[in-house]
Structure 1
Amino acid sequence: MPHPATVVPEIASHLKRLLDFVDPLPGDVCLDVARGRGPLPALLAPHVRSLTAVDAARDGRAFRTGPVRMPGDALTAAPAAPHARADETGHPTVRADATALPYPDGSFSLVTARFALHAPDDPHDVLRELLRVRRPGGRLIMADLVRGNLAATSRDRIERLRDPDHPGIPTIARLTEMVTAAGGAIRRLDVFTVERPAEPWLADAPDPDAADRVREELLDEVDGGPPTGAKPRIIGGELWFTQTWAHVLC
């Protein structure tokens, strides 16, 4: 069996790409919404006037479809909101429902959400809420998984095999429809493919047996078996696969 990868330095380039896409301004009042803690608030904090980070994970469980983890991921040490409390690392944390954020309409000039739509919540409600707290003329920037408009649904099957709670990966056209239905409009879109090691992703599966089945299917494809849509291959003795990510400006 391929050996697990523990450090993936390439993730830094993906985060740099997202930071460049966000293009934060010194006067921005920023809200970041994520499922669990992630690296984006710490990256944004030095570039904006203020930053509020919301952890929208339910029951202490972040939805298991996110990107490669970055060593030392933590929330920024930005001033805490009145209802925030420090977590075990000493960083301020705001726990809130992504479909009912505790902020008035138009509170933030910049709203960011990284892998926040792929969750058991209705993504339409999440989108409407993110747009609600965005100021008129402000920016909502989302980073999430997508698949090509002509991509086979087998990619969703693998995600659901790994985690039955996975709601599926929207096509680019479907993501556009979701934004429009929520009252927004896509102003800029960056779609790209990320190749990542499979073992950290499989380690987050709720059921180890399900992870084993996914691993077997990926390895079977490497050996010439049926396609999974994940384009697996062996790199340096390790199993890798691909995801398609999108950065969206609304």
Structure 2
Amino acid sequence: MSDSYTPHNQRIIDQFTRWAKPFAELPIHAEAESLREVIAACDATDAMTVLDVACGPGIVACALAQQGAHVTAIDLTPAMIEQATSRAAHSEIAVTFQVGDARNLSFQTGIFDRVVTRYSFHHMEDPRAVLAEMIRVCRPGGRLIVVDATPAPEAQAGYDQAEKLRDPSHTSALTVSQLLSLGHEAGLSHVLTSQYRLESRLEDQVVPEDWSTLKAMFLEDIAGGQDRLGMGAWQADDGIRFHFPISIVVWTKLEH
């Protein structure tokens, strides 16, 4: 087994191979307003070089390429790269996609103007190491953008419990403070932090065999009224609905 294919990485590949097509087609992942916020945070002007780490079905990569950026995008799961390549081809967008491990980026030091990752850090066993690799390949003065779920500190344990049941490749969702600390410890200069919520229906986010357990967990949380899971869940006419609490954190790499 190579370093890239640790047991945890294999869980990621297994999960997202199974979910590649439905994941790519879920409207929540391309929701217009939140995607605009992410693209604005990247601030990638025409002809900039951008790396999208753990790109999934290529939604952010394609949106950045449409802005005129020269985009390279990697993902650990070949099935996700297939979805991303298909998306770009369908829209006639030029993006370079390749299978790759976020912990060991196969790029020279300091070659990208922007390095972005969206909805990936909660899958990482060592997000600090992933951020270090993102910093390495970013040019001095360049911008790093991390977008991920950030539960409130008091709900972090409950959030992780629910997410690990829903997605076995989940490790832990960092709080905003924890995420900001990673950048501070790495010597990055903080640019901005913004937040948004993504509404979803629970049944759209879980495989059938896990549905009954997760449904019971969410119903208990709704009945308790304490929001122990940190998702503000409620019972709607079409089932259980909830919000993913998302933060965008932007830093610049200092010039030495």
Shorter-chain TM-score category?
Answer: 0.7 to 0.9
**1:71-220 correspondence to structure 2 within 5 Å:** 74-75=87-88, 77-78=93-94, 80=96, 93-151=97-155, 153-203=157-207, 208-220=208-220
Any conservation in 1 of the 2:58–2:73 contact (CA below 8 Å)?
no
1: CA distance between counterparts of 2:156 and 2:69?
A: 43
Matched, 1:37 2:50: no
Say if 1:75 and 1:34 are closer, same or farther in 2 by CA, change over 3 A.
farther
Aligned residues: 220
1: CA distance between counterparts of 2:86 and 2:223?
A: 35
Normalised to the residue count of structure 1, the TM-score between the two structures is 0.76
Any conservation in 1 of the 2:125–2:171 contact (CA below 8 Å)?
no
State the identity as a percent.
26
Paired position in structure 1 for 2:11: none
Normalised to the residue count of structure 2, the TM-score between the two structures is 0.75
Q: Which runs of 5+ in 2 are unaligned?
A: 1-24, 252-256
Query: What is the Cα deviation at residue 117 of structure 1?
Result: 1.4
Match of 1:55 among 62, 70, 75: 75
Say if 1:113 and 1:73 are closer, same or farther in 2 by CA, change over 3 A.
farther
1: CA distance between counterparts of 2:250 and 2:216?
A: 37
- Structure 1 counterpart of 2:99, one-letter code: R
Say if 1:120 and 1:50 are closer, same or farther in 2 by CA, change over 3 A.
closer
1: CA distance between counterparts of 2:215 and 2:157?
A: 18
- Structure 2 counterpart of 1:156, one-letter code: D
2: CA distance between counterparts of 1:199 and 1:214?
A: 9
**1:215-226 correspondence to structure 2 within 5 Å:** 215-224=215-224
Task: Please give the root-mean-square deviation of Cα atoms over the aligned residues, in Å.
Answer: 2.8
2: CA distance between counterparts of 1:112 and 1:225?
A: 36
2: CA distance between counterparts of 1:169 and 1:14?
A: 19
- SS of the residue corresponding to residue 97 of structure 1 reads coil
Say if 1:79 and 1:231 are closer, same or farther in 2 by CA, change over 3 A.
closer
1: CA distance between counterparts of 2:106 and 2:88?
A: 19
Quick check: 24-33 or 218-227, which moved more? 218-227
- SS of the residue corresponding to residue 215 of structure 1 reads helix
Map Cα deviations across residues 157-190 of structure 1 (whole Å, 9 max, x no partner): 2112223442111111111112223342322111
Map Cα deviations across residues 189-230 of structure 1 (whole Å, 9 max, x no partner): 112322221122113xxxx44332111221233345774422
1 or 2, which has the higher helix percentage?
A: 2
